Amino acid sequence: MKYLHRHTKIIFTIGPATENEEIIAALILHKVDICRLNMAHGSLDWAKATIRKVKEICKQVSRQIAIMMDIKGPEIRTGEIDGVWFLAKDELVDLIINANSHNKNLYESKYRKVTINYPEIIDDVHINDIILVDNGLIQLKILEKHKDYLRCVVLTPGVLKSNRHVNLPGIKINLPAITDKDKRDLSVAIEEDVDFIALSFVRDPFDIIELKNYLLQYNYSPRIIAKIENQSGIENIDSIIKESDAIMIARGDLGIECPYEKLPLIQRQIVNKCIDNCKPVIVATHMLESMIVAPVPTRAEVTDVSNAVFEEADCIMLSAETSIGEYPLKCIEVMKKISLEIEAAIPRSFRQNIELRLPKNKMLRSAVVLAQQLKRACIVVFSHSGAGAQLISSLRPTRVPLFVFTDSESTLRQMRILWGIQPHLIEFNKDRNVTINYALQELLNTDVMQKGDYAVILTSIEVDEKPVETIQLRRL
Ligand code: PGA
Ligand code: MN
């Protein structure tokens, strides 16, 4: 074996720092796996043009990556204000629920007033509850509840700008899973056939079902990623994992909605649950935050990324680091270096206890045992839908290259999310031998395999005109 490829996949968020065609090409050639569009920023026209541009460049450089559209979901925000306000400690602020209110006490009040886009807040909160504004930077405490407004006191001072994100820790928000804005964003995803939709603030499996049903009307069935970012998402994690195609541990909001000291354990538990259920999992947000402005990571960030690699998450994700940061390519390099170094240190092992029900799937486990004993062997799977790829990836066979050959371009892109899977496009020949020989030739063209190495191949062959599942051992 020449080289062990990286098993942990990398997602980058596209934005002003990475929209330039040369940078996109460089990112694709530096082997990023998924391009994420954060619909909290950017217009519909921007999204459409960006998706087309990324797809076009993929063609030009002959490497297809997947595209993820991340929609905002039920998110609470403050409204427009004039300029910026410095909110001082102990200052009183009125959060206006009904902008058309005629309440004299409200419009005659001498305190600062800002609207909030969630009128039902009045039913959900109590006096002395805490409201967090702008990613938790400003803390407000509710002093008085009125029909049209909430009077709050500033606990942690800060600078408030327009349209800031609001978190209500521990409170189940009664907003629809997909908002009108999400529907407009989704119209672009439908038109441009995006591979993944990530839904923010998923509270229970019904949010996922609602999104799937909405998209089905348009005959569009992308893979759905549930972003876990509040306490409801954590409480319902098991049923959410079952209903969605992948999970994103959205640590930005999660770290505000939950006590931060619980975050590492929550991350570890969700990663393990996802692997046990054969669902891909993404660790997201603040992985290399300091690299927005610095060319090297902090030691703590290196450790954070390596933890996610040790935990065997499928993907690690970059947000502002690549959308607005000064060193997007360096961030990819850092993640690649850390992943390769740490993966090589994980002992030869795999997840023995993953439940594989079908006898055919149990063969995957045997293939892993064989490949790990041979040491210089890769595993080869042929798959139209990618289902087999997902299972073999979930077994997490460390230090074994995993190649999947598919005849579907969209499957190829969707497999980019899977830990360890190196997808290749192939035309399936009626004669299985022709397909296998072509695949073996392809393996020799990679920078991983070389002559003399072994390939453990899972394939069905025809015996007396009936398909028989086999594991073949071939020498390259
Ligand atoms: P966001 O989600 O970047 O869309 O807020 C990720 C997170 O909250 O971590
Ligand atoms: Mn979030």
d(CA 272, CA 158): 38
Looking at the structure, do residues 157 and 195 belong to the same domain, yes or no?
Answer: no
Q: What separation in Å is there between the alpha carbon of 232 and the centre of ligand 2?
A: 14
Confidence tier at 2 by pLDDT (50, 70, 90): confident
Looking at the structure, do residues 338 and 213 belong to the same domain, yes or no?
Answer: yes
d(CA 233, CA 243): 13
What was the pLDDT predicted at 436? 93
Cβ neighbours for 367, distance < 8 A, ≥ 6 positions apart: 379, 392, 456, 458, 471
Q: Which of 41, 167, 185, 227 to mutate to test the pocket of ligand 1 (most atoms within 8 A of CB)?
A: 227
Question: Residue whose CA is closest, atom 6 of ligand 1?
Answer: 250
Mean pLDDT of 203-226: 96
- H or E element: which one contains 149? strand 149-156
- 261 in any annotated domain: yes
Q: What is the domain count for the chain? A: 3
What was the pLDDT predicted at 431? 87
- 433 in any annotated domain: yes
Confidence tier at 74 by pLDDT (50, 70, 90): confident
Q: What separation in Å is there between the alpha carbon of 64 and the centre of ligand 1?
A: 25
CATH number at residue 188: 3.20.20.60
Answer whether 76's CB lies under 8 Å from 116's CB. Answer: yes
d(CA 96, CA 429): 65
Cβ neighbours for 37, distance < 8 A, ≥ 6 positions apart: 13, 14, 47, 50, 51, 67, 68, 69, 70
Catalytic residue among 212, 227, 251, 365: 227
Q: Is 353 exposed, middle or buried (0-12, 13-18, 19+ CB in 10 A)?
A: exposed
Atom of ligand 1 nearest to the CA of 249: 9
CA angle 113, 115, 121 (to 5 degrees): 115
* Residues of the domain holding 373: 359-475
pTM assigned to the model: 0.94
Neighbours of ion ligand 2 (CB under 5 A): 229, 250, 252-253
> φ and ψ at 408, to 5 degrees?
-115, 125
- 285 in any annotated domain: yes
- 351 in any annotated domain: no
Q: How many other β-carbons are positioned within 10 Å of the β-carbon of residue 404? A: 26
CATH number at residue 408: 3.40.1380.20
Binding pocket residue ranges, ligand 1, CB within 6 Å:
38, 40, 70, 200, 229, 250-253, 284-285, 319
User: What's the pLDDT tens digit per position in 84-120?
Assistant: 999 999 999 999 987 777 777 777 788 999 999 888 8
Question: What is the bridge-based pairing of β-strands 112-115 and 92-96?
Answer: parallel
Residue 82, both tokens: 């004039």
Looking at the structure, do residues 458 and 422 belong to the same domain, yes or no?
Answer: yes
Looking at the structure, do residues 313 and 340 belong to the same domain, yes or no?
Answer: yes
- 265 in any annotated domain: yes
Q: Which of 344, 372, 393 is the last residue of a domain?
A: 344
Residue 231 has pLDDT above 90, yes or no: yes
